[in-house]
Structure formats: C-alpha cells, structure tokens
Chains A and B, each alone.
Chain A
Amino acid sequence: MKMTGAEMIVAALQAEEVDVIFGYPGGKVLNLYDAFYDSSIQHYLSRHEQGAIHAADGYARVTGKAGVVFTTSGPGATNLVTGLANAYMDSVPLVVFTGQVATTLIGTDAFQEADIFGITQPVTKHNYLVTDVNELPRIIKEAFYLAKTGRPGPVLIDLPTDVQVAAGEFKYPSTVNIPGYNPTLDGHPVQINRAAQAIAQAEKPVIYAGGGVVISGAQQLLLELAEKANIPVTTTLMGLGGFPGTHPLSLGMLGMHGTYYANMAVHESDLIIAVGARFDDRVTGKLSHFARTAKIIHIDIDPAEIGKNVSVDIPIVGDVTRVLTSLVQKVKGKTHEAWLEKIAQWRRQAPLTYVQAEDAEVLPQYVIESIYQVTEGEALIATEVGQHQMWAAQYYLFKKPRAFISSGGLGTMGYGFPASLGVQIGAPGQTVFCIAGDGSFQMNLQELATAVAYQLPVKVAIINNHYLGMVRQWQEMFYGGRYASVDLQQSPDFVKLAEAFGAVGLRVQKPREVVPAIEKALATPGPVVIDFHVRAEENVFPMVPPNSGISEMVRGNEA
C-alpha cells in the first residue's frame, strides 16, 4: 500500500499496539503531527520536551511497554538528551522520533538543525537517520525490537521532513533480521549447575537483586529461590519491589544509603548471588574492600556487565527469568539458621529508625512512612533525586515490582515529577505519589500544566528542607560545613504555585498535620501538591562515605 512517511509511522505504531505518545510539536514534525490528527492514538502534550521523554520513561517502567516520544528537530531534539541518557542508564525501552531538516539541507547549519544522530549515539542503544522512505517500516520494526529485547534501552529515529512527505510502499515486516544483535537468553547449563553447587555449599549466602529482576518479571522466581534455600535478599535502588520489602528475608537496599544489616551481610557473606545487577559504585563502595570473602555468581543478560567492576567466579549470561527457572529447580532446601540469626542481630543493633517528636519539626522520614501507612504500601511511587529519594527507598516498603520509579543510574533531578505523570497514564485508577525535593521539583515544575490539562491525579509530596539537601549533607560531612550554593530559601510558595496552575496546594508544618494532609490529597480529585516543611539539616543515614568499604558506615543518629 502506498503511503507517505508520516502515514507509515501512524500505521507502524498501530501495528506495535502503541496507544499513547508523549511529545511536543514543532516545524519539522508538522507532517507527522498532521498524520496523527485523525488517529486513535492518544498524544500527551508536555510543556517541555524533557518532560515528555521522562513521562514516556515513567510510562515504560510501570507498564513494561516501550514509551514513544515525538519532538521536532534542533532544540526539540537536544532537549531529549538527558531523558535518553537517563533511560539508557536504567535500561528503559523507549522509541523516540525526532524531526530533522530535509536531507538536502543536512549539514548546512539550517534553521533548527542539530546532528541528533551524532549527539545521541553514546546515550542510545541504537539510533537511525532515515534517508529513504522505503526503509522506514524496517527501521521502526527494528527500533521497537531493539528497545524491548535483550537489555532494553532507548532507540532514536531521526526523520528528515522530505522523508515524512515522500511516498513509498508500506508493508510492516513481521520479523526482524539484525545480524549483529542476538542476545543470549538461556543461561549455560554447566554454569547453572556450578551455581547450584555453590549455593549448596554456601553458609553465608546473600542474594543481591537489581533492576534486571524487575525488567525480566522474575519476582516470583526470585521469591522461590530465596525461600527454598532461605537466602536473605538485598536489592539495589533499581531492584526495589523485585523482592517484597515486607518479607522476613528482605534486608532492604544495600550500598551507600543501604541498611546496616544489608551491607554487613554482603561484607561478611561467603556467596553473593547477583541477579540482574551491575555492581555500581554506589552499591560496592570501595571496590578493594567489597565482599572480600565471598564467591560471586553473576546473572545478567548483558555480557559486558560481567567482570566489568568486580571479578566473578560463576558468570551466567542470560535472561534472569530463564536462568532462575533452571536454577530454582536445581537448588536444594537449606535453613541457614546461624547466618540468619547473625543478620537478625545486625538488624536489632542498627534498625532504620528515627524519632518524630510531636511538637518538633516534621522529619522527612516521618512523611515517607506516613505516605506508606496511609496508602498501605500499595501506591506507585515516583521520586526525584536526592535525600528524599533515599528516604523513600528506605521507608516505603515495596511489595511488588514496577511500583518504585526512580532515576538510578543517571540520578536525574527533574525526572520524578514528569515520570509520575507517565506512571499515572500507564496505570489509570491507581494511586500515584511523586516524592520530590524542593530543588528537584523546580527543575520540571512546568509539567504541572500537563497534569492539570489531562487531570492526572498525581499527588506530589515536596519534602521541603529549603536546601539542595544531599549536596548540603556532603558539604556538612566532608567539606567542613561550607554550604556553597545550596540554600533554596528563595523558592516559590508551592501552594500558590499549584493554584496558579489550576491544581490544589496544601502546606504542612507540624507533625500532626502530616497524615491528614495525605488523606486530604488522596480524597481530592486531580493533581495535588503538598508542601511538607521538614527539618532542614536532617541527614540520610546510614551512609557509606566516599572511598570507604560498605562495612564502614556512618550510622548517624541511630548509632
């Protein structure tokens, strides 16, 4: 069937069963937007291209589908770079379409021309510059396939205007042929046997579960493995919800702001079973001190992650679900009583705790725990980046995967709020909270207009300490209290700001107001911003200081 390039994109997205797009139009995608004008695919107009791509990312994380983004050329496209890097670091499937100047103008510094194909190579799984309309169906098919399979990631397609208007034969391929791309899915049976033997021999094993468990949908298998052999489980930030945080075998998060007992367990372990995790520096602390007595089993779909940061004894390349399916069958029941008792001692010695006095300032931890209590742990939580993010990771116990939506690898301030809108779009009818800092929220607060326009009932909890809190904490602890450029006293009145956008704003200044405000926000239709004024100089503990081993935690108040 003859179609224009723009019409092909509509048809291809329908074939891929895409029902929502996040985007922002402009001069070089007029044809594309015109082709979509009559389509049944819902387009969400953001107020900034970065908002659109973060929303698509949040949508992808909560649904497991690929998020789709449209923007124009030049500045529209360059505004996506942070969002692409963010999705690339956290392995989020996105298919991003950018307009481009006509092929005849490429390279001439034309109006709104940017070499987005060149700019985005390091932050995409793959990218394309389409120069022939007849290649478009194949390219779109490949883009969705690459984005969603193997280790997922963002794929960008750059579309010159003349390709959008050119006509060609449209036949959407049913298969792909990408000779240089063939991810290993099944783990090597010899290695899986070796892993099962190592688990049988281990006396102090720990499962270290990452985002790969969530992406692969392997939470049930992980639970089976842990329960069968009584192995405690710690998760990374990305792995939260991959194992129920309320389970007796759960140690919570490990790493820089992980629990004392998770870090001690890893430190003294004799076998670490890394599942879909990548030994990031925020997890390992000083590498030469990391788990020196442990054997390491590393299961990951990306061979390049194995042996990248730590030496691995039993590498298993494959999809976490497939590998765990085989491994669970081969693992034998064990009790590990002494080891679990040792961990219980650490837990008693240094639990995650804080003391909220009734007439004192509100503590941020209390706000998070109150949201957890009121929502009964069932809300979908998107966060910004900083102290509030770490408190959310510590005090909100996630029971299910795809419920904690946070920028892990890139640590993108300004991610959480637009992402929460995508989360709400992907999970209509569910309670969505955005836990934000007063700094992070101001990086993409223009998306309040998007939230109001589509009446997305996201509840934004601003943990307002009037500082760039995490930076201030480091300055306090490691720079002699010299607070360089972290004071945010001059912020807008967030209640009035919410109202100016047409949302509801609430302010909380006393501990007794916290729970009623959360309840009121939940009872209010549409988006609500709650400005929680919290203790300004509260620090996140435990903390593994930079260049320290993970057993060398500063335990702060609760020590």
Chain B
Amino acid sequence: MKHVLAVLVEDKPGVLVRVAGLFARRGFNIESLAVGRTQDPGISRMTIEVEADERTLEQVEKQLHKLINVLKISNLTVEPSVHRELLLIKVKATAATRAEIQHIVETFRAKVVDVALNSLIIEVTGNEEKLQAIQLLLAPYGILEVVRTGKIALLRGAKTTKNGEEQKNGKNVL
C-alpha cells in the first residue's frame, strides 16, 4: 500500500542525502519525494510517498526517527488530508487541434502557460487520478515532455503537523 509521510527536518546540509540514503540502503521504495521550506525558519518539510506494507512502514518511520535531523513524522494516509501534485505537460498542438486541447484543459481546470507555434505547455494540479486522466486524454495529440513535482499533502481541518507538539522518540511503544 502507498503511504504519504510528512517529515519535518532541520534545514541542515546533507539532510536530503541522509533521508534518501536511508531509504536506499534499507531497501525502502520511494514513489515520490518533495522538499521545501516551511513557515518556521530552519525547518523544511519533506513529503515522501512510500510503497510499503504495515511492518515495513513501521521500520521506515522508526529508522527515519533515528536520524538526528528529523524532527517529526506524520502519516497523512491514515487521516483525512488533501494531497496534491503539480504537473507540467508539453504537448504538440496545431491550429487544428489547439481548440480541442483547450477544451480538455478547461474541463480539468488546468491552465495553458506557454503557447508556441507547434506546442503548448499545460499546468495542472490535482491528485494522482486527475493527473493520470489528463495525461491520458492529451496522449493522442503527442506528449513531448512531462515533469511532476511529487506529491505534497496537508491534514484537513485546523490540525497541523507541527514540530514540538510531542516528543519525537518520547512516544512509547504500547
């Protein structure tokens, strides 16, 4: 099963390598990884999508906790949360097909962000299914290039994944 983990880390040199290296050497599979700064200076947030059974997931979380620069880990799969990814697609477009493509773009509430003589770049955000669907519909026109950011996610409601709300390792195993 796929799990989405929100991992708060200290923004220190080498932290991305530590996390990525841990996944590699312990044989955990990363489906996607997105990193960026948070509202707190010095703290970055990694959103890691991982394919794992329950036992492996427990190891992933425990091993991540052992990294000194990791502050907090939340599994956003088990709680209601909003998951999004941004996709840019460069697709072939001629005078004849441009209108049809435009129609697909509108249906998906996507945006055309670059128009050239023979191509368009389309920006679309959404969950996995939506991104797959628009890519499928655009395929017949000729996809030239695709780039994705990796998934990011937030808990629904006022609850947050904030550092310092609970002790990292202090949470005992019951």
Interface set of A (CB-CB < 8 Å, partner B): 117-118, 121-122, 125-126, 129, 146, 178-184, 187-188, 190-191, 302-304, 306-308, 315-317
Contacts and interface: CB of A to CB of B under 8 A. Distances in A.
A383 B17 CA distance: 36
Interface string B49-72: 000000100110011011111110
Interface in B14-31: 14, 17-18, 21, 25
Contacts of A118: 14, 17
B163 interface: yes
Given A121-B17, A180-B10, A190-B174, A304 B67 contact: no
B157 interface: no
Given A118-B14, A188-B174, A303-B65, A308 B71 contact: no
B interface, size bucket = 20 to 34
Interface string B161-174: 00110011110111
B13 interface: yes
B7 to A, nearest CB: 11
B18 A317 contact: no
Contacts of B68: 125-126, 146, 178, 180-181
A126 B25 CA distance: 16
Given A122-B25, A315-B173, A307 B58 contact: yes
Most buried by A among B9, B17, B62: B62
Contacts of B174: 188, 190-191
Given A118-B14, A122-B21, A304-B63, A179 B163 contact: yes
Given A129-B13, A180-B69, A317-B173, 20 more contacts: A117-B14, A121-B17, A121-B18, A121-B21, A122-B21, A129-B14, A179-B10, A179-B164, A180-B10, A180-B68, A180-B168, A182-B167, A184-B172, A190-B174, A191-B172, A303-B173, A304-B63, A307-B59, A308-B59, A317-B169
A98 to B, nearest CB: 15
Contacts of A182: 167-170
Contacts of B71: 179-180
A187 B172 CA distance: 8
Q: Which 10 A-B pairs have the closest CB atoms?
A: A304-B62, A188-B172, A315-B173, A126-B68, A180-B71, A182-B169, A181-B68, A182-B167, A180-B68, A303-B62
B173 A306 contact: yes
Contacts of A191: 172-174
Nearest to B64: A304
Interface string B77-115: 000000000000000000000000000000000000000
Nearest to B71: A180
B67 A180 contact: yes
B59 A304 contact: yes
Contacts of B59: 304, 307-308
Contacts of B14: 117-118, 121, 129
A304 B164 contact: no
A118 B63 CA distance: 18
B65 A304 contact: yes
Contacts of B10: 179-180
A121 B22 CA distance: 9
24 contacts: A118-B14, A121-B14, A121-B17, A121-B18, A122-B25, A179-B163, A180-B9, A180-B68, A180-B69, A180-B70, A180-B71, A181-B168, A183-B169, A184-B169, A184-B170, A188-B172, A188-B173, A303-B169, A304-B59, A304-B66, A306-B173, A307-B55, A317-B169, A317-B173
B66 to A, nearest CB: 6
Contacts of B164: 179
A179 B9 CA distance: 10
Contacts of B21: 121-122
Interface string B119-145: 000000000000000000000000000
Contacts of A129: 13-14
Contacts of A308: 59
Nearest to A181: B68
B49 to A, nearest CB: 21
Most buried by A among B14, B17, B68, B167: B68
B5 to A, nearest CB: 15
Most buried by B among A190, A304, A308: A304
Nearest to A194: B174
A126 B66 CA distance: 10
A188 B69 CA distance: 25
A129 B17 CA distance: 14
A303 B21 CA distance: 20
Nearest to A126: B68
Contacts of A178: 68
Contacts of A307: 55, 58-59
A107 to B, nearest CB: 12
Contacts of B168: 179-182
A271 B68 CA distance: 34
Contacts of B172: 184, 187-188, 191, 317
A307 B69 CA distance: 23
Contacts of A183: 169
A174 to B, nearest CB: 20
A317 B172 CA distance: 6
Contacts of B169: 181-184, 303, 317
A129 B18 CA distance: 14
A190 B174 CA distance: 8
A191 B17 CA distance: 36
A121 B173 CA distance: 27
Nearest to B173: A315
A185 to B, nearest CB: 10
A146 B67 CA distance: 11
A191 B174 CA distance: 7
B53 to A, nearest CB: 13
Nearest to B72: A180
Nearest to B172: A188
A231 B70 CA distance: 40
